[in-house]
Chain A
Amino acid sequence: MTARSEHSRYVRGLASRIAAESMADTAVLRDGVVNNTNHLLDQRGIVIAALSGSWTSYESEDTGEFHQLYGLLPIEFPITLLPSGRSAAVVPHLRGYVSGGAGTGVFRVRISRIGGENIPPELGDRCTEVSTTSTTGEDLAPDPIFLPREEADASIYGTGIERPFPSLDGSGDAAVARVSMAQIEVWAKISSGVAQAPVLVGLTLREYIGG
């Protein structure tokens, strides 16, 4: 995504340049206020997960079919939705290997609305893939994934996670905040070597809005 901020960085010294009795000139507004606000919008992606464990599909006999990794339930998080019509990029980093001897393990990471589809993921904007033949552990960095707007909208209104939260601003109004939620699933298969199984031992997920 093209940077929203004019300088692609945060410009320091704003507070001392806008104060009572000071003139707020065009440069202050453009560099200090508009640029900085746009840059913070570009830099507000959160870290979603940093998980360690040992998850495998236990389905080595079904060579060629993706299975969800046992025990790694969908990872839910509040997602950032952008004006472009899709979410912030979710950037995965995995560490995985193949157990049981030589083979190729393939991992797919999919983003979806809460509840998901519970069917093997197809490659595309929402799903990325990476493979390994390591038998000890390899760091894997697949492409970023995105949640399209239409799915994100389903997440907002159809998940059951949204609920009324009272406003504590002193006005006493009963306001409602809705949170857009999404989930990440990891699926895996063995593409060669029927006696082996793909094993995931680490997973980092972070949002990246860019600049």
Chain B
Amino acid sequence: MPATVLRDDPGTIGRAQIQSGAPVRGITWGAVARAVNFLNGSPRALIPHCSPNVTLAVADGVQTLSFRVFPSYQATHRLWLAVLEPTAQDEAIGTEFEFTDPSGGTATWRCIGTAGPFAPKAFRHVETVSSRTTSETTLAPTFESIAGTHVLGRLACFELPRPELAVDANDLGLELGSFRARHWIYDATGRSLGGLPEALAGALSRGRRHMFQWARPATAALAFSTTSTSYTSVLTYTPELLERYLYNGDTTPTIEVRVLAWVTGGTGDVAVTMANGDLNAVAISATTPTWTSITGLNVRAEDLSASDGRRTSADLATIQARKNTSGTIYVAGIGIIGRAS
């Protein structure tokens, strides 16, 4: 029996029949294995819908957006969703936009005819992942306006579910047949009791990692920029963040932020201030686009007794940048990353 992944949440694993001195029933072992396969093979957000809000003209050529992510090894396909809005419409030729996913697959998106002038349109693209890893990596899709000028208003990327996982140390699939009643218990990767800890640890780290993403092309013309020596908001909005409640006493656990930024000289700062009062900043001194980390941001964890999960109130993130002396600071990417464990 393979490492099948159910489409829907498999439900609660019963514990009432797990009693001291009594054997654990095969049906319990099987329920655990099915649930862990579901956790390791189900959909996941790499880039929650974000707002690049960047205008791309033909003259801009190929532009890249960069996102720092922790992908799943299990994901073989990713669903990209985008919203484009032509800034004008030419009925004769329409407008045309080319998207290249991080694995090299391309899609041509056209806004013509019935779209009407200035009407936004939604597009979908499925990426076949060419190189699978669990290591932190940069997803760098490219965009090119072939005809007409477009606003890239929205972008998202979700890992798609697997119907079946491989029974190995990468996919962490659990072979359901090895959890049958009266089957012997043994220690082997992806099988029986010995396969469980590794697969469950994988499920833990595969949880809600990508809490916020935003990107613009890393060019002086298209990235966010400021010359102000006072903090200036990078975004026009303060997104709500809520981390998983994992361990006893979790109230404001520590998560991380990735910032793609650079300065024209000297130093600048990028700061994230949470509604819970936590403030973290990182100095930017690179003069070319460089990823920098903020490693100590505290955000509220879910309150499991609340109907909406909010611990007291929404924990909003204010993301700002400033230049410390003369010159300019540019910001082209922000990723807020939840705990792996």
Contacts and interface: CB of A to CB of B under 8 A. Distances in A.
Interface of A: 3-4, 6-10, 12, 14-15, 18-20, 24, 26-27, 29-30, 33-54, 71, 73-78, 80-83, 89, 91, 93, 95, 139, 141, 143-144, 156, 161, 163, 165-171, 173, 175-180, 201-206, 208, 210-211
Among B44, B50, B171, B200, max chain A CB count under 10 A is at B200
A39 B5 CA distance: 18
Contact of A143 (B162, B194, B308): B308
Contacts of B83: 73
Given A3-B304, A49-B49, A141-B310, A71 B120 contact: yes
B70 interface: no
Among B196, B201, B212, max chain A CB count under 10 A is at B196
B308 A43 contact: no
Given A14-B200, A77-B156, A156 B236 contact: no
B247 A163 contact: no
Q: Is the interface of B mostly helix, strand, loop or mixed?
A: loop
Contacts of B244: 43
A9 B211 CA distance: 20
Nearest to A202: B237
Q: How large is the interface on B (under 10, 10 to 19, 20 to 34, 35 or more residues)?
A: 35 or more
A202 B236 CA distance: 8
B210 A175 contact: no
29 contacts: A10-B204, A14-B197, A15-B201, A18-B197, A19-B187, A26-B24, A33-B32, A36-B200, A37-B36, A37-B203, A40-B203, A43-B207, A43-B244, A44-B39, A48-B49, A51-B51, A52-B53, A52-B235, A52-B237, A53-B53, A74-B122, A78-B161, A81-B8, A81-B9, A89-B309, A93-B239, A168-B76, A170-B166, A206-B242
Contacts of A37: 13, 32, 35-36, 39, 200, 203
A180 B246 contact: no
B281 interface: no
B28 interface: yes
A82 B332 CA distance: 37
A71 B115 CA distance: 12
Contacts of B85: 71
A26 B18 contact: yes
B145 interface: no
A73 B19 CA distance: 53
A82 B126 CA distance: 25
A187 to B, nearest CB: 16
Contacts of B208: 43-47
B309 A165 contact: no
Contacts of B24: 26, 29
A46 B163 contact: no
A30 to B, nearest CB: 5
Contacts of A180: 7-8
Interface string B311-323: 0011010000000
Given A9-B248, A81-B9, A95 B49 contact: no
A208 B304 CA distance: 9
B131 interface: no
B166 A46 contact: no
A41 B32 contact: no
Contact of B164 (A50, A141, A169): A169
B268 interface: no
